[in-house]
Amino acid sequence: MKEITLYTLALQNLRRKPYRAVVIGLCVAVATGSLFAATIVLRGVQHSLTVGRARLGADLIVVPIGHEVPAQEAFITGQPSTFYMPDDIKEIITALPGVQQTSTQVFIETLSNASCCIGEFFLVGFEPETDFTISPWLATHLDGEALGPFDIIVGDRILLREDETVIFYGTAFNVVGVLEKTGMGIDRTIYVPMEGMRTMIADSSELAEKTLTVAPEEISSILVSVAPNADILDVAERIEANLDNAKVFTAAQLNQAVGNQLQGVLGVTFGVTIAMWLMSLLTIGLVFSLTVNERQRELGILRAMGAQRQAIFRLVMGEAGLFTGLGGLVGLASAAILLAGFSRLIQLRLHIPYLLPNWFEIVGISFLLLVLSLLTGALASLHPALSSSKMEPYAAIRQGE
């Protein structure tokens, strides 16, 4: 005869009342999955900002006045945007106290039918001799080799790999490196040396289906590195005071912009999730209270057969743990699949940077949420379990008839 254990009894009750098990499991699955998704997105944004700011390397970014929002979206999500200002601004900024280094960039949007890419991407012209964002990467990945005017560096999201050749506006470029993934706009950016960029612009009238109208003396942004002993905000105010047609924003303001975009969405998500947990607690508690009333005869017979009060208590608590544990696993797995499959859509719809956290962190968050789902079942079933363990065998059998 097969041995009867608390585990087998719990499984039998699950099979006997599948609808009840599914309801409890879904309550916990939705709550756990929602909290997991919100937590991973938040940690992904923080991780992306950390990596992206390290890659950006600039303390201040100067753009034409009135284009602060498009510029921030360009750096955060890689949303293509083009705007220009005179390049003589760089000399004014470089001469200001507290400014250690400056480097200019030119933004051009790729054509939507470019052979390399699906959609529109950024072409960013940069100065290899003054750049302090891409050049450190070049020094470590290209063994100090000089970058030719038509050698380009591409972001992780661009469908190009090293040694490939691609044509932009009729000019051919050679891919010499692919940047590590950051989750920010850098991943959707193609970096072109300024000499090659100016040549492409000049030749576009004859070689491309669309003529570029960027003048040789026009730039899109100026990256500024502040001296170690200088205050970043003071330098920013000094730059704006000396310029009438430019606006400055800091790398910290990129974080603030992302925080403002996330605040409403994640606030609502966490609020709904907390409401779901409360509903799950009440639902599970109600279901197990009804279950105990329905099973008084069964529990009374178990007591009459020699089962101790602790065994009845563990039986009810074990069933709750089984239901909520399975529900938590389903919720975590479903949320993980959705996040992995729609990460790019999340980034585009919310206009946020997003880089999946490392697996160690994901496993840790999953474990904590699984423990939380088990605790939910334990708290919800605590009162029914205590009341069932206190029932006298004879009274329970009579009341269950």
What tens digit of pLDDT does each residue of 173-231 get?
Answer: 999 888 887 777 778 888 999 999 999 999 988 888 888 888 888 999 998 988 888 89
Distance from C-alpha of 197 to C-alpha of 218, rounded to nearest angstrom: 12
Same domain, 271 and 380: yes
- Short-list 79, 80, 132, 123, CA closest to 104: 132
Q: What DSSP assignment string belongs to 3-72?
A: PP-HHHHHHHHHHHSHHHHHHHHHHHHHHHHHHHHHHHHHHHHHHHHHHHHHHH--SEEEEETT-HHHHH
Distance from C-alpha of 353 to C-alpha of 188, rounded to nearest angstrom: 11
Asked if residue 1 has pLDDT above 50, the reply is no
Same domain, 270 and 223: no
Regarding predicted confidence, which is higher, 381 or 166?
166
Neighbours of 101 (CB within 10 A): 16
Question: Which of 244, 267, 290 is the last residue in one of the domains?
Answer: 244
* Residue 110: alpha-carbon gap to chain centroid: 26
Same domain, 206 and 341: no
Q: What DSSP assignment string belongs to 275-330?
A: HHHHHHHHHHHHHHHHHHHHTHHHHHHHHHTT--HHHHHHHHHHHHHHHHHHHHHH
- Short-list 175, 172, 173, 171, CA closest to 210: 171
Asked if residue 87 has pLDDT above 80, the reply is yes
CA within 13 Å, CB half, 246: 28
Q: Which residues are registered as beta bridge partners of 247? A: 63
355 pLDDT band, cuts 50/70/90, is: confident
Same domain, 224 and 312: no
361 pLDDT band, cuts 50/70/90, is: confident
Find tokens 């499991």 and name the residue.
25
- Total domain count for the chain? 2
Tokens of 331: 């919720």
134 pLDDT band, cuts 50/70/90, is: confident
Instruction: Assess if residue 56 is contained within a domain.
Output: no
Instruction: Assess if residue 239 is contained within a domain.
Output: yes
Give me the pLDDT at residue 174, please: 93
386 pLDDT band, cuts 50/70/90, is: confident
Instruction: Assess if residue 26 is contained within a domain.
Output: yes
Instruction: Assess if residue 269 is contained within a domain.
Output: yes
Tokens of 140: 């470590």
Question: Which of 184, 214, 244 is the last residue in one of the domains?
Answer: 244
Asked if residue 279 has pLDDT above 60, the reply is yes
Q: Give the mean pLDDT of 108-112.
A: 73
Instruction: Assess if residue 250 is contained within a domain.
Output: no
What sign for the dihedral angle of Cα 5, 6, 12, 15? negative
Q: Give the mean pLDDT of 223-248.
A: 89
Give me the pLDDT at residue 400, please: 46
Per-residue pLDDT tens for 3-13? 556 566 666 66
Distance from C-alpha of 97 to C-alpha of 47, rounded to nearest angstrom: 33
Number of helices and strands (H, E) in the chain? 13, 11
Same domain, 97 and 236: yes
Q: What is the DSSP letter of 186?
A: G
Same domain, 286 and 154: no
Q: Give the mean pLDDT of 239-264.
A: 75
Instruction: Assess if residue 55 is contained within a domain.
Output: no
265: CB partners within 8 A, 6+ apart: 350
Same domain, 129 and 38: no
Distance from C-alpha of 360 to C-alpha of 287, rounded to nearest angstrom: 36
Give me the pLDDT at residue 197, please: 93
Same domain, 76 and 122: yes
Give me the pLDDT at residue 177, please: 86
Q: Give the mean pLDDT of 252-257.
A: 68
The highest-confidence range among 47-61, 87-101, 121-135, 318-332, by mean pLDDT, is 87-101
Q: Give the mean pLDDT of 87-107.
A: 91
The answer to whether the predicted template modeling score (pTM) of the entire model surpasses 0.85 is no
Same domain, 32 and 73: no
Q: Give the mean pLDDT of 28-56.
A: 76
Range of the domain at 114: 66-244
Tokens of 234: 């003071």
Q: How many residues does the chain have?
A: 401
194: CB partners within 8 A, 6+ apart: 104, 106, 125, 126, 127, 128
Same domain, 291 and 320: yes
Same domain, 207 and 90: yes
Give me the pLDDT at residue 295, please: 65
- Short-list 291, 385, 287, CA closest to 13: 291
Asked if residue 302 has pLDDT above 50, the reply is yes
Find tokens 């510029």 and name the residue.
71
Q: Which residues are registered as beta bridge partners of 109? A: 122
Instruction: Assess if residue 208 is contained within a domain.
Output: yes
Which of 19-33, 130-144, 289-303, 336-350 shows the lowest mean pLDDT across its residues?
A: 289-303
Instruction: Assess if residue 15 is contained within a domain.
Output: yes
Q: Are strands 122-126 and 189-193 parallel, antiparallel or unpaired?
A: parallel
Q: One-letter amino acid identity for 258? A: V
Q: What is the mean pLDDT of the chain?
A: 78
Regarding predicted confidence, which is higher, 371 or 265?
371
Question: Which of 212, 244, 276 is the last residue in one of the domains?
Answer: 244
Same domain, 265 and 198: no
97, 238 contact by CB (below 8 A)? yes
